[in-house]
Amino acid sequence: MIVSRRSSMLLAIAAGLLMLSLASNRLPGVADQSANADMTLQGTGATFPAPLYQRWFNEYNKMHPDVEINYQALGSGAGVKQFQQGLVDFGASDAAMTDAEMAAVKNGVVLLPMTAGSIVLTYNIPGVTELKLSRAAYAGIFLGKITQWNDPAIAKSNPGVTLPDTKITVVSRSDGSGTTFVFTSHLSAISPDWQKGPGAGKAISFPVGVAGKGNPGVTALIKQTPGAVGYVEYGYAKQTGMPMATLENKSGAFIKPDLSSGQKALAGVQLPANLRAWITDPAQADAYPIVTYTWLLCYKKYPDPKTAETLKSVILYGLSQGQTFSAELGYIPLPADTVNQVTKALAQIS
């Protein structure tokens, strides 16, 4: 009996030392699993939908304390890469994975558009609170062909507004970004010079300007740089109180970014069977011109069936109750037919 107690004590000490060792080697930046969480899901990816995803995951955890979802908003490029390498349970990207990118994932890929939003041009022009930019003007700005805020191409669309002769400083993303992919895909659609020059991609070389990491980095640079202009996600600009330019759309109308104009852009989109579609230049007369879906990246086959079932439960929450948080955080609730398509696609995950 004495030997048994002593053995139990030694085993308990050894187990404690092992737990301390594991804790000391925990990956930096990954939140600790809560004491009562039986399942932890790890995700990495886009900063664009991060505020909404974090809200979903927090609310889901309140209802299911045994499930914790840790999401690191490191950019779409990092999301795709870590997902391909099998380092996470799910990824997230504003640029849907290409066939070539999916071919590198041995357990298969299911792309799920979970929300949508607008990309806006936010600026820092002292004394200017309302700004209209034509397609030619904002393409010219990011190409480096329009360099002063009082350029005639900008002044023409802003009668009665006193525009300063301040130098324009373009701010772009330094990280691999789905937001960059969506914005540069739009520029490629409206500007032959952009299409032939920088082109579209998650990480490209902008002709002019400076770069910041993520929406926070871009916003910080704009705030501290008079004359700066850059692209960020609408919800982020809304939450931080940044001014947003009114942009000319395909029909020639100047449209403010808001929930209604974003919904009009989505209304003309029919998602294909693979749920992968890009809205590079919506044709609706009252649609905001830069709108995108953003995707969760899931494996078709998970080693642990419990992980697959838990993730599907979290996704179903995002498709149902989770959509009610969209508008207040600056996102576009998914149309009902899109929700139905995504829900059916969950059957591919096991």
Rounded CA separation 201/217 (Å): 19
Count of CB atoms situated within 10 Å of the CB of 257: 25
**Cα(339)–Cα(333) distance, integer angstroms:** 10
Binning pLDDT at 50, 70 and 90, where does residue 195 land?
very high
Give the pLDDT of residue 276: 93
Determine the average pLDDT of the residues in 74-79: 93
Give the chain's length.
350
Q: Residue 30: which of 68, 81, 58 has the closest Cα?
A: 68
Q: What is the dihedral angle through the alpha carbons of 247, 281, 227, 146, rounded to the nearest 10 degrees?
A: -100
d(CA 279, CA 277): 7
DSSP state of 146: -
Q: What is the reported pTM?
A: 0.84
The position carrying tokens 């520029």 is 187
State which amino acid sits at residue 66: D
- Tens digit of each residue's pLDDT (9 = 90 or more) over 292-336: 999 999 999 999 999 999 999 999 999 999 999 999 999 999 999
> Are residues 102 and 80 in contact, defined by beta-carbon separation less than 8 angstroms?
no
Asked if domains 36-117+292-348 and 118-264+280-288 share a fold, the reply is yes
- Inform me whether the pLDDT recorded for 32 exceeds 80: no
Report the percentage of the chain scoring pLDDT > 70: 89
d(CA 119, CA 195): 19
Whole-angstrom distance, CA of residue 182 vs CA of residue 180: 5
Mean pLDDT across the stretch 71-90?
Answer: 95
Model confidence at 97, in pLDDT bands (50, 70, 90)? very high
**In whole angstroms, what is the distance from residue 243 CA to residue 126 CA?**
11
Name the fold adopted by 118-264+280-288: D-Maltodextrin-Binding Protein; domain 2 (3.40.190)
Note the pLDDT of residue 134.
98
- In the DSSP assignment, the letter for residue 11 is H
pLDDT of residue 37: 65
Q: Is the per-residue pLDDT at 10 higher than 70? A: no
**Radius of gyration over every alpha carbon of the chain, rounded to an integer in angstroms:** 23
188 CB-near residues (< 8 Å, 6+ apart): 194, 195, 199, 200, 280
**What are the extents of the domains in the chain?**
36-117+292-348, 118-264+280-288
* Residue 233 burial (10 A CB sphere; 0-12, 13-18, 19+): buried
Instruction: Find out if CATH 3.40.50.1820 is the number for domain 36-117+292-348.
Output: no
For residue 7, name the pLDDT band (cuts at 50, 70, 90): very low
Beta-bridge partner residues of 91: 44, 297
What is the Cα 347 distance to its own chain's centre? 25
The SS3 assignment for 264 reads helix
